[in-house]
Structure 1
Amino acid sequence: MGCYKYNQIKWMNTKNTDNKIPIYKLETKEKVLEYYTSWTKNNQYNLDMVDWNYIAPKNAAKIFGKHAINKSINILDAGCGTGLVGQELSKEGFGNLIGADLSQDMLNLVPNGLYNKLDLIDLNKQLKYTDNYFDAVICVGTFTYGHVKAPTLDEFLRIVKTNGLICFTINEGIYQKYEFDKKIQKLEQNNQWKILELKKSSYIVNKDVDAWFCVAKKNKNNLNFI
């Protein structure tokens, strides 16, 4: 089994980013939902993403497209928000998309026709999808302060087919704090997935926040260790 060369990555070269954006200070699901309800009024969320130069959706879609050759695969956009990732995936030629998010207020801003279906779900709980349902999962901007935790990666592995892709970002400020570094390595050591790409890149440019971008492929002999 070939493992990703983690020793070549500067794990400690991260910075604390919890003071960059107000929502990073929130610690409960209820407070996060309340914040999104306010943030989506008058399309303010989308306006802020443009103003802040939130380039993670574009970068993630391009990285995903580099590894996903078949444009017709069915993809779960987990934590799709207002559809920013879906729009970038569409530009890359992917159109078989399901969007899912915790906030109905965010889903209400998704452009019509972008996704085949929109689901209201809590990514920190067991997902309603059956085993081996999706060809791929993409999750951008959701592994961040006060949002979704590392055990959700187990659920992504469960619902993705063998050889399916899991593409996600992790805010650099929580990469070690929420133990994503350990989780990513453990899943590969257990031969549950193979890391195809793992790098740190720009995330929210005008807020000086970077993120880890990861693409993994589910292994055939995945045993769904929890």
Structure 2
Amino acid sequence: MNSELQLSDLAQTDLSELDVVERYAHFAPVYDQSVHDWGYQSHRVAAEALRRHVAIDQPVLDAGCGTGLVGAALADLGYKDVTGMDVSPDMLRRAEEGGRYRKLLSWNMTRTPYPFADDAFAAATCIGVLSLITDPTPVLREFRRLVQPGGYLIFTQQEILYEQYGYEDILRGFEQRKELHRESISEPVAYLPNREGYEKRTLIYCIYRVIDD
């Protein structure tokens, strides 16, 4: 099976119709090299953003951790208490090989609640994952439960899906209910600038602070 073809298929097809675990099993071995070649930088951008808000001795959840790119970027900045979860056992095995996580868990992010206590983390990252989830509301609500008051959420979404999935209205709802405080929503930036056909695709970075009940 052509791993490059499968990676392309996964990125361009309605993912709700695919067996995501099976697809990731086929291209997990080439994932890191592929996204590197395509100019992917979101893991580093997110880690640097987190460092501006959260001390390196605090516990962090990396939701949808994949092969561990975010975990590696956080470790490079000095974070040692990072928990990763992902639906793909093959991607998790790659993350485990990297040795950057305190704990790794196989879990489907659409299944809530997640198996962590309230206020278990000082921050949660979800980078390059939410494009697979058409309704982010339950996920964001769960992040708010897991992250301590005053802690931070950092997540990304492709600009086209940010609009298609109604993110602005959803996020405004969290803000109006005084559940999350908007720290920043970035201007759209390059997503995979070196990938053919993706030169004009853009990504939005969202940073929110959890508000106490």
TM-score range, shorter chain: 0.7 to 0.9
Q: Match of 2:145, SS?
A: helix
The structure 1 residue matched to 2:108, chosen from 109, 122, 145, is: 122
Structure 1 residues 74 and 29, CA, compared in 2 at 3 Å: closer, same or farther?
farther
What is aligned with 1:83? 68
- Matches of 1:216 and 1:60 in 2, distance apart? 13
Tell me which stretches of 4 or more aligned residues in structure 1 moved more than 6 Å.
none
The 8 Å contact of residues 134 and 165 in structure 2, kept in 1 or not, is answered as no
Are residues 1:62 and 2:52 paired? no
What is aligned with 1:224? none
Letter in 1 for 2:191: Y
The structure 2 residue matched to 1:213, chosen from 197, 205, 213, is: 205
What is aligned with 1:106? 91
Structure 2: 5+ residue stretches without partners: 1-6
Please identify, of 171-180 and 20-29, the stretch whose mean Cα deviation from structure 2 is larger.
Answer: 20-29
Are residues 1:28 and 2:13 paired? no
Q: CA deviation at 1:21?
A: 4.2
Q: Match of 1:175, SS?
A: helix
- Matches of 2:19 and 2:149 in 1, distance apart? 37
Letter in 2 for 1:94: Y
Letter in 2 for 1:39: F
- Matches of 2:157 and 2:57 in 1, distance apart? 26
Structure 1: 5+ residue stretches without partners: 1-19, 222-226
The structure with the greater share of residues assigned to helix is 2
Coordinate RMSD, CA, aligned: 1.7
Structure 1 residues 98 and 29, CA, compared in 2 at 3 Å: closer, same or farther?
farther
Q: Deviations over 1:61-99 (max 9, x none)?
A: 11121222x110000000000000111111222121001
Q: What's the TM-score once normalised by structure 1's chain length? A: 0.82
Q: CA deviation at 1:204?
A: 1.9
Letter in 2 for 1:72: D
What is aligned with 2:3? none
Q: What's the TM-score once normalised by structure 2's chain length? A: 0.87
Letter in 2 for 1:155: E
The 8 Å contact of residues 150 and 179 in structure 1, kept in 2 or not, is answered as no
- Matches of 1:112 and 1:57 in 2, distance apart? 15
Q: Match of 1:119, SS?
A: strand
Percent sequence identity is 27
Q: CA deviation at 1:22?
A: 2.4
Are residues 1:46 and 2:59 paired? no
Q: Deviations over 1:163-220 (max 9, x none)?
A: 1111111111210211222111110111101111110323222232321101111111
Letter in 1 for 2:49: I
Query: How many pairs were matched up?
Result: 198
What is aligned with 1:164? 151
The 8 Å contact of residues 185 and 206 in structure 2, kept in 1 or not, is answered as yes
The 8 Å contact of residues 124 and 148 in structure 1, kept in 2 or not, is answered as no
Q: Match of 1:204, SS?
A: coil
